[in-house]
Amino acid sequence: HIPKTQVAAVVPGRNQSVVIQHDFPVTQPSELKPGQCLVKMIGTGVCHTDLHVSRWDWPIEPITPLVGGHEGVGEVVAIAAHTEASPVKLGQRVGIKWIAYSCGDCEQCRQGLEQNCVSAQLSGCTVNGTFSQYVMSWVHVVTPIPEGFDSFAAASVLCAGVTVYRALKYSDARIGHWVVIPGAGGGLGHLAVQYAVAMGMRVVAIDTGAEKKKLCLELGAEKWVDFKQTPNLVSAIKEACDGLGPHAAIVTSPYSEGYTQAVDYLRPGGTLMAVGMPGDAKFETSIFWTVVKNISIKGSYVGNRQDSIEALEIAASGKVKVIYALKGLSDLGQVYNDLQKGNVAGRIVLDSSK
Ligand code: 8ID
Ligand code: ZN
């Protein structure tokens, strides 16, 4: 039985805060188009991206009213009529990602860059996201969740996990290399620490406060640098990495401050992976030293379907643990305040039934 209405956390419009709506319409099975499905949500993580979108921080115009959320796990409860060869079945647990839809047929998709699909739809931005109890999605794009893997943990792998996993893959860092992670105590960062360790890299965590320090060191970071308490960050980071600096920086800070010194502390030949997405900030860095140090600067945007499956399998195997506090869907407003203040170590995951 599919209800007509549901609870959803909604941002009604620009400059407005989240309201909990109890009569938000549910897409009915008869309304689904071929290839679409309806997912009954179990849980959803809250990503700093949701906060950026809800504040209109970015040059992408979100839909209004806005139902955010893009790392959710639920169960398939309906599949559209005339959907040929669905890879997922009714009752199966699946994940919804930031890339809600990619066609699979354009040049970008064929090259594995589905994130840049010409017809891409973005969960919780251009289509309704996971901060509701039922979500319309696409059978070829949802990600099957490995059997036995905790739904709430799996949720945060679908954005935070896959994003940092892909960034590490494309960073050219290898076993034994030093990787520095600004934002290491946050949602993306705490998973980056663990994927890096699982790949055999040595991690320097950069973030602030005792709680994040403890978390990062417990998760396998060898060194910790508090960005608020370290007067000379560049020399501290170089010193932490054999005096030469790290081979790669995976920058997950949501503000430009996490970026500015990376070219200065990177080892010659090193790679800066841009992951954190401050709205209109620009890179301020020395062109001279970027050239002379042979620095690579690469953007890395979530991951494709295959990256998502790989990131989930690694986490389900126990090599990466999502450290989350569980709250209810109705707590979203408070969670946004905490994220804004930098008070969240690891991730907050919302139980969709509460
Ligand atoms: O596809 C992508 N590239 C992608 C995917 C998902 C998220 C990008 N993101 C972006 C988000 O939009 C956001 O801008 O990554 C950024 C981080 O998302 P998050 O991990 O969900 O945010 P968080 O949990 O708030 O963690 C951020 C951490 O950064 C620290 C904070 O203390 C927090 O722990 N931090 C800050 I604020 N300034 C810092 C600095 N100068 C810093 N850490 C180091 N240096
Ligand atoms: Zn995200």
CA distance linking residue 62 with residue 203, whole number of Å: 36
* CATH T-level topology, domain 171-299: Rossmann fold (3.40.50)
Is the ipTM above a cut-off of 0.95?
yes
Taking only the tens place, the pLDDT of each residue in 141-186 is 999 999 999 999 999 999 999 999 999 999 999 999 999 999 999 9
Q: How far is the CA of 287 from the centre of ligand 2 (A)?
A: 30
For the four alpha carbons of 330, 340, 250 and 272, in that order, the dihedral sign comes to positive
Q: Which two tokens stand for residue 212?
A: 């994040």
State percent of the chain over pLDDT 90.
97
- Is ligand 1 within 6 A of the CB of residue 115? no
* Residue 64 confidence (pLDDT) above 90: yes
- Is ligand 1 within 6 A of the CB of residue 253? yes
- Is ligand 1 within 6 A of the CB of residue 49? yes
Nearest Cα neighbor of 73 from 99, 52, 92 is 92
Nearest Cα neighbor of 78 from 166, 146, 173, 3 is 3
**Which amino acid is located at 45 in the chain?**
G
Mean pLDDT of 8-24: 96
CATH architecture label of 5-158+303-351: Alpha-Beta Complex (3.90)
Domain locations along the chain: 5-158+303-351, 171-299
pTM, rounded to two decimals: 0.97
pLDDT category, 30, cuts 50, 70, 90?
very high
Taking only the tens place, the pLDDT of each residue in 100-153 is 999 999 999 999 999 999 999 999 999 999 999 999 999 999 999 999 999 999
pLDDT of residue 36: 98
* Residue 266 confidence (pLDDT) above 90: yes
Name the average pLDDT for the chain: 97
State percent of the chain over pLDDT 70.
100
Taking only the tens place, the pLDDT of each residue in 294-332 is 999 999 999 999 999 999 999 999 999 999 999 999 999
Q: Which ligand is nearest to the CA of 164?
A: 1
pLDDT category, 35, cuts 50, 70, 90?
very high
pLDDT category, 283, cuts 50, 70, 90?
confident
Nearest ligand 1 atom to the CA of 182 is 44
pLDDT of residue 131: 98
| SS3 of residue 30 by DSSP | helix
Phi, psi of 190 (to 5 degrees): -70, -25
DSSP per-residue letters across 150-213: -HHHHHHIIIIIHHHHHHHHTT---TT-EEEEETTTSHHHHHHHHHHHHTT-EEEEEE-SHHHH
Residues 6 or more apart whose CB falls under 8 angstroms from that of 218 comprise none
Are 5-158+303-351 and 171-299 equal in CATH topology? no
Identify whether the C-beta of residue 309 lies closer than 8 Å to the C-beta of residue 303.
no
Q: How far is the CA of 318 from the centre of ligand 2 (A)?
A: 22
* Residue 198 confidence (pLDDT) above 90: yes
